[in-house]
Structure 1
Amino acid sequence: MTIRMTSNMMSSTLLGSLNKNLYNMDKLEGQISSGRKINKPSDDPVGVTYALRYRSQLAGNEQFQRATDSAQSWLDETDSQMGSAGNVMTRLKELMVQASTGTYSGSDMQAAALEVEQLKKQLVDIGNSKFGGKFIFNGQSYESIPYPVEAGTDYSKVETDNTAVKYVIGENIQFQINTSGNEFFGAATDNDNAFALMDRLVTALGSGKQDDITAEMGNIESRTSKMLAARSEVGARTNRVELVNSRLQDQEMNTTTLLSKTEDLDMAEALIKATSAQTVYEAALKSSAKIMSTSLIDFMR
């Protein structure tokens, strides 16, 4: 059966085709102006799902990178202060060796005792070091000063907070960044507590007892070794943070590439398609004008 094509049907069909071409051209122009393949969910529903997932991963990655940067800065500060403490212990050992040789006079012993007092104050300052407004040697009580500076404080009896300070630097990765003061300088029960042995040295130097000075050599060696071990652990933690940060940067690059492939527009391809769509649209307009140019007079002939 032959279907009769009316003018209204022809007009509707032509308008539908023209609108379709116009929509396609408008979509391409919108993509070109924004530089993105996806400007609204209907452009690519599946692509939008992936894009949202990639953006969520990038946001999480950015938080983890900020955490690793903070952790690395904390560890760098800790390492620097530990190095300064090591210098104090080195100088303390030099004074002990010199004082134990029997060549020091009484005034030399007094001068050495005064220097040990100053070294002790320097060690207290190091123990009260802060990073970002937080005391780095006082565990989770980083808002409180670990070694009070009030006169008469017995630093050998100070107990710092030994609770671990942990940063979240990755999915399900909690990383300890701190070293407690008791671990580094010695606890109250440790015979090689840095402050306790300094107090004993001041007493021995003040009284000129060389045997008491020599007796502390083992303690200073023990404490220095523990300090070096603690600093080595900080170095190992720093290496791990650097590795984690490097991996996060690689993940960021990979995820950014995937997001770009999902969202970003191939400009050269889009320009070719836009030119083609414009040509098709203009051709459709011309052909439609010829087809629809029939007037009432043409039907009366």
Structure 2
Amino acid sequence: MRISTNTIYDMGVASVQQSTSDLIRTQQQVSSGRRILSPSDDPVASARVLDLSQSQSLNKQYDTNTGSATSSLGLEESMLSSVGNLIQDVRTYALQAANAPLSDQDRASIAVDLRGRYQELLGLANSTDGNGQYMFSGYKGVTKPFVETSLGNVTYQGDQGQRLIQISPSRQMAVSDSGTDVFQRIKNGNGTIVGLAAVANTGSGVIDPATVTNLADANICQTVSIVFNNPPTTFNATGTGIIPPVGVAVPYTSGSTISYNGWSTSIKGTPVSGDTFTVQPSSNADMFKTLGDLITQLETPIQGGGAGATAKLANGINTAIQNFDQSLQNVLTVRASVGSRMREVDSVKSTGEDLQLQYQQTISSLQDLDYAKAITDLTRQKTMLEAAQLSFTKIQGLSLFNYM
């Protein structure tokens, strides 16, 4: 077969260029640490790497979201802790105010301190997070949740929603709580029933907190009224399911147990004819109203008002203490919910970190370079290039003119 001089040169140049190209490609792999420099190097692996990279980026966003959720929940837990401490302090003030030797001026001084705590409570309820969003306004993060119209009368401006953050492909985490659930939707009394003295009472009767003795009683949440007769040594009880029945006068002794419909209580002191006490189902009472009513009672002088004024103060303080106990329990319940959510966020974050490691390992196995093999290939290709260059030099020197 006849081979022209041009063919010899073309083949020699092509061989040198191919060897140079292979050497440069391997050198680029070594310098970048990547086996795949372009999708054409391994289309299947490149598509898999792209899919895994997208999943990895999404997982990184979830990790960022879990960090935000942890921050928000931690801040709420801190605010709730402050609210709980405030309630305990206010309850201590209420117990102090119940001491009989205190004068009107002493109780007024306590009321001054309580006004400061009242404003502190309002400030905590209107707390904002690091982004300027109100923590207890539901979905309405830019709306101030609690607006005061007068002492103890506070209107909620937010809604009942809980702001959510997506912390995993299948989980959204609530990072806030409605202000009504924390500060206003609190059952008074013992959470089931509450004993109250009528505002119009003039005697010295003071009702103790009602205690549930039989929660299964079908009539436990029926209102029972206790009305004292004339003379007030007996009373009549009216309501559903009571025994003795309506119309039967029941003898009264100060401090004796009064039991109806699965509950019991006692009334101490000397009621007068017409004084009324009720045991009724618990209803919602908010912290602001409870604290505002207590302040008003402590600021109201009772000296010279007789036994009726003293009893009214005692009944008011007892009611406030019960409500503070329920408020504290409610705050602790919300804190427990926040703690549970924080624990779940930590668990999801840990799972996400493990998944991130798995993504990285899988991507590495698909696209990262085997340095031992690459360096061996680089040495071999360098030798092949040098051989091609040397052989081309020898071949291009062949000419018949050299033998003439």
Q: Structure 1 stretch 172-181 or stretch 285-294: which is displaced more?
A: 285-294
Give the secondary-structure state (helix, strand or coil) at the position aligned to 2:146.
Answer: coil
1:159-174 alignment to 2 at 5 Å?
160-174=158-172
Partner Cα separation in structure 2 for residue 234 and residue 157 of structure 1: 25
Aligned residue number for residue 199 of structure 1: 292
1:11 positional shift = 4.8
1:57 positional shift = 1.3
List alignment gaps of at least 5 residues for structure 1. Answer: none
Code of the aligned partner of 1:201: L
More helix by share: 1
1:27 positional shift = 0.6
Q: Structure 1 stretch 286-295 or stretch 137-146: which is displaced more?
A: 286-295
- Summarize deviations over 1:166-198 as a string: whole Å, max 9, x none: 111111322211111100011499543111111
Aligned residue number for residue 286 of structure 1: 390
Aligned residue number for residue 133 of structure 2: 134
Aligned residue number for residue 143 of structure 1: 142
TM-score, normalised via structure 1 length:
0.89
Aligned residue number for residue 221 of structure 2: none
Partner Cα separation in structure 2 for residue 97 and residue 148 of structure 1: 28
1:60 aligns with 2:58: yes
- Summarize deviations over 1:227-267 as a string: whole Å, max 9, x none: 10001100101111111111111111221222223233333
Residues 61, 111 of structure 1: alpha-carbon distance in 2 compared, 3 angstrom cutoff: same
Code of the aligned partner of 1:199: G
Code of the aligned partner of 2:82: S
Residues 21, 188 of structure 1: alpha-carbon distance in 2 compared, 3 angstrom cutoff: same
More strand by share: 2
Say whether the 8 Å CA contact 2:182–2:334 is kept in structure 1: yes
**Residues paired across the two proteins, number:** 296
Partner Cα separation in structure 2 for residue 143 and residue 272 of structure 1: 64
Partner Cα separation in structure 2 for residue 288 and residue 90 of structure 1: 95
Partner Cα separation in structure 2 for residue 103 and residue 5 of structure 1: 130
Give the alignment partner of residue 117 of structure 1, picking from 115, 118, 132: 115
> Which one scores higher on RCO, CA 8 angstroms, separation ≥ 6?
1
Say whether the 8 Å CA contact 1:79–1:235 is kept in structure 2: yes
Partner Cα separation in structure 2 for residue 29 and residue 12 of structure 1: 25
TM-score, normalised via structure 2 length:
0.68
Give RMSD over aligned pairs: 2.3
Code of the aligned partner of 1:89: I
Code of the aligned partner of 2:3: T
Residues 153, 60 of structure 1: alpha-carbon distance in 2 compared, 3 angstrom cutoff: farther
Partner Cα separation in structure 2 for residue 26 and residue 200 of structure 1: 85
